[in-house]
Amino acid sequence: MTSAGPLLEIDDLTLKLQVGGAELTALEHVSFSLGYGEARGLVGESGSGKSLTLRAILGLLPPNAVVTSGRMVFDGAEFDLAHGSKADARRLERLRGTGISMIFQEPSVALNPVIPVGEQIVDAVMRRDHLRRSQARDYAIHLMKLVGIHDAEHKVDAYEFELSGGLKQRVMIAAAVAGKPKLILCDEPTTALDVTVQRQILSLFTHLRDELDAGLLYVTHDLAVVAQLCDSITVLYSGNVMESSAELGSVFDDPGHPYTEALLRSTPDVDRIGRRLYSIPGSAPSLSDRPLGCPFAPRCEYRQDDCEQARVPDTSTVEGREVHCRHPVGHESGRVQLAKEAR
Amino acid sequence: MLRWLVRRLLLAIPVVWGVVTISFFLMHLAPGDPARTALGDKADAASVAALRHQWGLDRSLPMQYLSYLGQLLHGNLGQSLYYHTSITSLMAQRLPVTLILIVLSAVFAVLISIPLASRTVTKPNGLAAQVVRLFNAVIQGSPTFFIGSMLILFLGVRIAIFPAGGYPDGFGHRLWALMLPALTIALSIVPLLVRGLRAAMIESYSSEYVSFARSKGLGEGKIRRRYVLRNASISGVSILGIQVGALASGALVVEQVFAIPGMGSMLMTGILNRDYALVQACTLVFGLIVVVVYLLTDLVYARLDPRARLS
Amino acid sequence: MTTSETAIPLVPPELGPGPRRAGWAPGWLRRHNLQLWIGAVMIGLMVLAGAFAPLVAQHSPTTPDAMHTLLGPSGSHPFGTDNLGRDIFARVVYGARSDLTIAVVAVIAPFLIGLVFGIVSGYFGGWIDTIMMRLADIVTAFPFFILVIALVFVLGNGAWSIFVAITCVSWVAYARLVRGEAMVLRNKEFVAACQAGGISTWRILLRHFAPNVATQAIVYAMSDIVMNVGVIVTLSYFGLGIVPPTPDWGSMMADGQQFLAGGYYGMTLFPAGAVIWTSLALSFVGDGLAHALRIER
């Protein structure tokens, strides 16, 4: 294990989508990093580009998406993510499964309906270890038990549509960990599930983190999930990183970006039962009419005249923490007051 | 699975009954007297009356219908006016030929369609894909008999690889003689099959399960075989099943063009010689073939697609 | 930048989300719905040639000329002459008259029958639907061409029995198509809104269903005409269709076949070309329409 430097570093990832002849920028200069064994929450509303970021890392973008710039360092190896670097795309392909794997949002469409689920885990197992099929099958059963499928010996021959949503997601997790990857990308893996099942899957993730020693890049819109599972956080809004921190607690206690603060205020919390939940005024901008400066400016309570001008400079407040805001929360006493009151 | 099969068989019964009934009415739709038409104007009244009696036309319609059903239940398809023999025994000689021809052409159609469809999906803008599209468009517009006569001209006469027609003795020779006819029929459904397979493969390729398979690190070859072709083959089977009617129609045309003594050419003989009973029997058997193939298709489909076994 | 250049190489460019391209024509044709226009022009030329056949063709399609048999293409005979010395160009042009007329006429009745049955069956469901669909199952159990040829045999040769035979068999496809569409529409919000607003069922069917489902059926009709041309030509090829000496592409190809081996291709290839031209034109129009109406085929 190369412990010098992070496990994953994404630098200046910009991605454009071609929609009906127009070209829209879906990700803009997105950068963050992830240490070995670290779990980072990638948080944002729908349409903020979280899933696209994951897919860009694995090279699984839809055909109308084009990475125009972006550099990735994974486990010491450097990759050019930008479209056109075919050699790098091929190297990236080789990482799939064994270096980086991914858990998809909808287990019911991500599993092939006409192949038994066990076989789909076996496919992933065989990718890493050159086992005989029967051995791979045994290992698949072992993995299914590891992810909490009790009668794995039977379920291994089941089809996707014969399993419940929670079981399907467990199967997918088993397939994703089969290649012993160093990094697992999770694309809202609990969104499609019932609340009780969500809990179980989340605790499975916590359990697996200790077991596997893999890094986790966890996409979600749910800050409560991040609080439970992650060490660090990156907040995306409209394809831009708003705030990024290696230390989750600091962001939760003292958000730097007004958007982070607004997100926190609009998250339900047991302590505040009975109080009216905050909702961010307005709606997320569509990709086509994003303002020139800070994309959040039109909805920001603390907006000032210079906010909508040119691109916001990085404002590093503390080591390991980035806030992309000209007027971060907490820097002017009046604003801190306002924020404290709201909380 | 057994219950499903029984249910499926029961559902086929009304269709079989309908097919039998329609074939029965074929003789009664004719304007005028079929017996008179069959024997021509010069025939004397006595022989016309005899034929009317043989075909049962002198009885009431319900009686005719009941005796038709009764005969069929005994495997009796009637007497052929032209061949002067029982149609059931004729059918025993002719049916296998047509069945082999249909199966052979289905195999050819699949063997031709899969690579063509794959090519248009994986390299949609490549030269080969464009050629495939043009080929498809032209073939789709060409009548089957024209494709047949062109194949005879080029592969039977100009470069005489295959026999240009006829049906010699001996299994090997016969199989060889069926190659061009089967290829002709196959070509006539290739455009449809390519189109269907292509749509299914595109759907598969853009599905999340292929993305997931890619994220597991599977190579493109394995993804194509295990995830895309496998899923597309399911819709391929149902397209092929639905097209059995087209294959049978093709057999009718091609047997005539290549002088193959199958059921199709027997039907044509019946038509050209105004042999109503023969036409009736051939139409019925062609209908029954389709019903049976639909059943088989459902069976294969259920084997290939576990979801179909659920309902 | 074009799509093919910018797509990630791991995913074939055509596999993206968004409206799937309908159609089957070469790629260069599909851009900007060019194929609809090319198809329309191609079929328009054929129809005009047939309609103004006496003006277009210099020679009679039926008068034999024993002195000039089996000629190659030349200035006075653009497609050459057949074994009886008749002008092939004139026969092809006059053939368009008979073949296209029957093909188009034989689409109208099945279209209307299928539209009515399909809407009624799809909208009301219940026993009407059950009977309808069983009947459809029975008709489709027969191979299309075999049932048509058997019906033509029973009804006697000629244009009228071809028309009746095709109608008997091909209404089913329209009925099935329309029924499926009608069932989808039935569950749409606006139907409930209409019913709540007290609009009568017949008015809903006429005003909202018929136009909506008809567009699909019209696109299908294009390929149905192609199929009819194939049937008519094949019937005539076997001597069961259009009665000679009326010029027709099928009987022309049947006549030409015996001269193929001798190297006289014109008698077969020109009528075949006319058939393929017509089919190509109509499938371009159909695909173009489907694309314009954003119907997936």
pLDDT of residue B164: 81
Say whether the peptide bond before residue C245 is cis (omega within 30 degrees of 0): yes
Compare C196 and C120 and report the one with higher pLDDT.
Answer: C120
User: Pairing mode, if any, of strands A321-323 and A39-43?
Assistant: unpaired
Which amino acid makes up residue A202?
A: L
Q: Any idea what the Cα angle at residue C135 is, between residues C132 and C136, rounded to 5°?
A: 85
Rounded distance, CA A56 to CA A179, Å?
20
Which amino acid makes up residue B149?
A: S
pLDDT of residue A318: 62
Contacts of A185 in chain B (CB under 8 A): 215
Which residues 50-69 in chain A show a CB within 8 A of chain B? 55, 58, 60, 62
- As given in the structure block, the two tokens for residue C58 are 């210099």
Instruction: Answer yes or no: is pLDDT of A338 > 70.
Output: no
Domain boundaries defined on chain C: 80-296
Mutate to test the interface with C, among A14, A15, A61, A64 (most CBs of C within 10 A): A64
Average pLDDT, chain B: 90
Contact (CB, 8 A) for B15 and C141: yes
- As given in the structure block, the two tokens for residue C161 are 């029995």
Rounded distance, CA C145 to CA B59, Å?
31
Instruction: Answer yes or no: is pLDDT of A145 > 50.
Output: yes
pLDDT of residue A314: 66
User: Pairing mode, if any, of strands A77-80 and A183-187?
Assistant: unpaired
pTM, to two decimals: 0.84
pLDDT of residue B189: 94
- For residue B244, give every residue at least 6 positions away whose Cβ sits within 8 Å of its Cβ, in sequence order, or none: B102, B106, B289, B290, B293, B294, B297, C143
Nearest to B248 among C16, C143, C153 (CB): C143
Name the pLDDT band for B311 (thresholds 50, 70, 90). Answer: low
Interface of A with C (CB under 8 A): 18-20, 59-67, 83, 86, 89, 93
Name the pLDDT band for C28 (thresholds 50, 70, 90). Answer: low
Nearest to A112 among B206, B215, B227 (CB): B227
Q: Looking at the domain covering B91-309, what would its CATH class be?
A: mainly alpha
Altogether, the residues listed in chain B come to a count of 311
Instruction: Answer yes or no: is pLDDT of C25 > 70.
Output: no
pLDDT of residue B281: 95
- Check CB contact under 8 Å for B213 and A112: yes
Interface chains of chain B (3 or more CB pairs under 8 Å): A, C
- Check CB contact under 8 Å for B307 and A102: no
- pLDDT over 90, % of chain A: 36
- Check CB contact under 8 Å for A110 and B209: yes
Instruction: Answer yes or no: is pLDDT of B224 > 80.
Output: yes
Work out the number of other CB atoms within 10 angstroms of the CB of residue B281.
26
Distance from CA of B22 to the nearest CA of C (A): 9
- Check CB contact under 8 Å for A123 and B212: no
- For residue A253, give every residue at least 6 positions away whose Cβ sits within 8 Å of its Cβ, in sequence order, or none: none
Nearest to C18 among A59, A64, A93 (CB): A64
Instruction: Answer yes or no: is pLDDT of C27 > 60.
Output: no
Q: Where in chain A is the domain with CATH 3.40.50.300?
A: 35-59+86-237
Nearest to A98 among B208, B217, B304 (CB): B217
- Check CB contact under 8 Å for A64 and C1: no
Name the pLDDT band for A272 (thresholds 50, 70, 90). Answer: low
Place of tokens 């596997």: A212
Instruction: Answer yes or no: is pLDDT of B185 > 90.
Output: yes
Name the pLDDT band for A270 (thresholds 50, 70, 90). Answer: low
Name the pLDDT band for A20 (thresholds 50, 70, 90). Answer: confident
Name the pLDDT band for A333 (thresholds 50, 70, 90). Answer: very low
Instruction: Answer yes or no: is pLDDT of A323 > 90.
Output: no
Lowest mean pLDDT of A54-58, A327-331, B276-280, name the range: A327-331
Nearest CA in chain A to B308: A114
User: Residues C246-271: pLDDT tens digits?
Assistant: 889 999 999 998 898 888 899 999 99
User: Residues B16-53: pLDDT tens digits?
Assistant: 999 999 999 988 877 778 888 888 888 888 888 888 88
Distance from CA of A62 to the nearest CA of C (A): 6
Instruction: Answer yes or no: is pLDDT of A340 > 90.
Output: no
Contact (CB, 8 A) for A60 and A81: no
Contact (CB, 8 A) for A256 and A326: no
**CA distances to A161, A273, A275, A336, B107 from A341, in Å:** 50, 16, 13, 9, 76
Rounded distance, CA C144 to CA C173, Å?
11
Q: Does the CB of B62 have a partner CB in chain C at under 8 Å?
A: no
Mutate to test the interface with A, among C5, C6, C21, C294 (most CBs of A within 10 A): C6
User: Residues A177-215: pLDDT tens digits?
Assistant: 998 899 999 999 988 888 888 889 998 988 888 888 889
Encode burial over B66-97: b for 16+ CB neighbours within 10 A, e otherwise. Answer: eebeeebeeeebbbbbbbeeebbebbeebbeb
3-state secondary structure of A168: helix
Place of tokens 């494709």: B147
Nearest to A89 among C1, C10, C16 (CB): C10
Q: Does the CB of B140 have a partner CB in chain C at under 8 Å?
A: yes
User: Residues B140-182: pLDDT tens digits?
Assistant: 889 999 999 999 998 888 888 888 888 888 888 899 999 999 9
Architecture of the C80-296 domain: Orthogonal Bundle (1.10)
Work out the number of other CB atoms within 10 angstroms of the CB of residue A331.
14
User: Residues A33-65: pLDDT tens digits?
Assistant: 999 989 999 998 888 889 999 999 998 888 889
HEC readout, chain C: CCHHHHCCCCCCHHHCCCCCCCCCCCHHHHHHHHHHHHHHHHHHHHHHHHHCHHHHCCCCCCCCCCCCCCCCCCCCCCCCECCCCCEHHHHHHHHHHHHHHHHHHHHHHHHHHHHHHHHHHHHHCHHHHHHHHHHHHHHHHCCHHHHHHHHHHHHCCCHHHHHHHHHHHHHHHHHHHHHHHHHHHHCCHHHHHHHHCCCCHHHHHHHHHHHHHHHHHHHHHHHHHHHHHHHHHHHHHCCCCCCCCCCCHHHHHHHHHHHHCCCCCHHHHHHHHHHHHHHHHHHHHHHHHHHHCCCCC
Span C34-51, average pLDDT? 92
Domain boundaries defined on chain B: 24-76, 91-309
- Check CB contact under 8 Å for C9 and A61: no
Sign of the CA dihedral with A53 first, then A55, A57, and A61 last: negative
- Check CB contact under 8 Å for A127 and B207: no
The CATH classification number of A35-59+86-237 equals: 3.40.50.300
Mutate to test the interface with C, among B146, B157, B274 (most CBs of C within 10 A): B146
Round the CA-based radius of gyration of chain C to a whole number and report it. Answer: 23
Nearest CA in chain A to B210: A110
pLDDT of residue C22: 39
Nearest to B216 among A96, A109, A115 (CB): A96
Interface chains of chain C (3 or more CB pairs under 8 Å): A, B
Interface chains of chain A (3 or more CB pairs under 8 Å): B, C
For residue A278, the 8-state DSSP code is P
pLDDT of residue A321: 80
Average pLDDT, chain A: 84
Mutate to test the interface with B, among A114, A162, A163, A180 (most CBs of B within 10 A): A114
User: What is the interface size between A and C, counted as CB pairs within 8 Å?
Assistant: 41
Mutate to test the interface with C, among B145, B159, B228, B290 (most CBs of C within 10 A): B145
C-alpha dihedral (B26, B27, B28, B30), degrees to nearest 10: 90
Rounded distance, CA C66 to CA B60, Å?
56
Nearest to B231 among A93, A95, A112 (CB): A112
Rounded distance, CA C12 to CA B204, Å?
12
Rounded distance, CA C25 to CA B137, Å?
7
- Check CB contact under 8 Å for B202 and C226: no
Span C180-191, average pLDDT? 83
Contacts of A59 in chain C (CB under 8 A): 8, 10
How many angstroms separate the most distant Cα atoms in chain A?
Answer: 67
Lowest mean pLDDT of A265-279, B106-120, B294-308, C4-18, name the range: C4-18
Name the pLDDT band for A1 (thresholds 50, 70, 90). Answer: very low
Place of tokens 């038709």: B68
Instruction: Answer yes or no: is pLDDT of A120 > 80.
Output: yes
C-alpha dihedral (A5, A8, A9, A10), degrees to nearest 10: 180
User: Residues C88-144: pLDDT tens digits?
Assistant: 999 999 999 989 999 999 999 999 999 999 988 988 888 989 888 889 999 999 999
pLDDT of residue A248: 87
Q: Is this prediction's ipTM beyond 0.95?
A: no
Contacts of B282 in chain C (CB under 8 A): 146
Nearest to B304 among A94, A112, A114 (CB): A114
